[in-house]
Structure 1
Amino acid sequence: MSDQPMLPIEAGTAPEPDIVVVPGRRLRARLVATFATAEPGDFRTVAAERLDLIHGGIAGDRHHGFTRHSGGREPWFPRGTEIANDRQLSILSLEDLAEIATRLDVPEVRPEWIGANLVVEGIARFSFLPKGTRLFFEDGAVVALAGQNAPCKIAGRAIAAEVPDRPDLELGFPKAAKRLRGVIGWVERPGPVFPGQAVSVHVPEQWIYPA
């Protein structure tokens, strides 16, 4: 896999000289693992040979639904406000998981420990893919990304439960995994996803708005 651009998308003309326009690009990745929660409400996920993505996410998964309730990540709403669900899927990369493990000085951080649904490989700095990036899976499913998934103590606690004699991981994980925790997304077009699929990653043109 390579993070070099293919079929580059032509950038638009910046309307003002102090606005930076970064051209869009298309990257290639591979889906290496799929997971879903065994029961609604479970934080951990379990491996699945295949997932059928539907509008709303994954049937039976803890994050399935067209709406969700706001929490600490949305301080602009009163907690518990019903909002559109852009957190239907948690998507991680093997590369970022390996870097988290290195920072924590543990042999591995398994994606199912921290509630992953999809795991890909082949994209450098995967967690930095911008909002609006789309993942096109070769059998038709399309997932739109809504931004980074902020690491939390709940995930750290799950990792600590798997690593003997390392209670420090509960609080250490949020710091070590900052900007490496993967991304969240929602299903734009339904379809099957399963390990081994090719993924075309469409990164949109980005405009850097000046202060």
Structure 2
Amino acid sequence: MPNEGVVLQVLAPNDDQDIESNPGGHSVTQPVDQLMVDHAGITGDRHRGLTRRSTPREYPVYRRTAAQIVNRRQIFAVSPDECTLLTERLGVAITPQLLGSNLVIGSSDGTPFYLSDLPVNTYFAISAGNAEEPSVPPLATLVHYVQQKGCSRTGNAVAKAHDNPELVARFVEVSEHRRGILCSVEYPVAEPVALTEGQRVHFRFPMGSCY
């Protein structure tokens, strides 16, 4: 895995994030100049918040109680190589927008890699594009929470874009372990900062600690 990457694209939610009024399109994102983020997530995004209700993904622990839990699913990041691989597997164009991603992060030297392969709890220390090392503290710090799973909601977005209902199930199947990752925002806390194209991402891997 590379030690650093670069933000190639930032994407914000579309203008209608309601699944009832915009089925198959509510999760699709759109390119923007910047994302304003703090420890609650992205300003204006439906995933923003310090807490959220548990979902079927937490079923082994919370069952169907919709318990209020800490929100670590605030930002969705993919690499361009994950989009390329899914495009090859499905035979239709899979873009970061269709996946619903917020950040597209590539390696700084262009070497292919998958964000999905990064260890859980990897730090993303974000700095200016010309920084060889992140400032202390960084401009922003994201923490890798979990791999994003293939889901039928995103499959519906892909199927709608390509007018092919069969793509729903196929997307869920082929995107396993190659769909990108979900992150939480650890820093900043006091004031939001802007994430923009060209910023450097320094990967800092978990080391463990004494308690």
TM-score, normalisation: structure 1: 0.80
Match of 2:197 in 1: 195
How many angstroms does 1:40 deviate by?
4.8
Q: Separation in 2 of the partners of 1:162 and 1:125?
A: 24
Partner letter of residue 30 of structure 2? V
Deviation at 1:127, TM superposition (A): 0.4
Q: Aligned runs of 1:22-33 on 2, under 5 Å? A: 27-33=3-9
- Corresponding residue to 2:10 among 15, 26, 34: 34
Indicate the residue corresponding to 1:70 in structure 2. 54
Q: Which runs of 5+ in 1 are unaligned?
A: 5-26, 207-211
Distance 2:117 2:207 in 1: 14
Percent of aligned pairs with the same amino acid: 29
Tell whether 2:86 aligns with 1:84: no
Query: Larger C-alpha radius of gyration, 1 or 2?
Result: 1
In the alignment, what sits opposite 2:131?
none
SS in 1 for 2:56: coil
**Cα distance in 2 for residues equivalent to 1:82 and 1:129:** 28
SS across alignment from 2:172:
helix
Give, as a single letter, the amino acid of the residue that structure 1 aligns with 2:53.
Answer: H
Structure-2-length-normalised TM-score: 0.80
Deviation of 1:112 (Å): 1.3
Q: 2:126 aligns with which of 123, 137, 161?
A: 137
2:159 is the counterpart of 1:160:
yes
The alpha carbon displacement at 1:132 in A equals 0.7
- Cross-structure match for 2:36: 52
Aligned length: 180
Retained in 2: the 8 A contact 1:39–1:61? Answer: no
Name the structure 2 match of 1:22.
Answer: none
Unaligned runs of 5+ in 2: 19-25, 129-138
CA RMSD of aligned residues (A): 1.6
Among 175, 178, 181, which residue is 2:179 paired with?
181
Q: Is the 8 A contact 1:40 1:60 kept in 2?
A: no
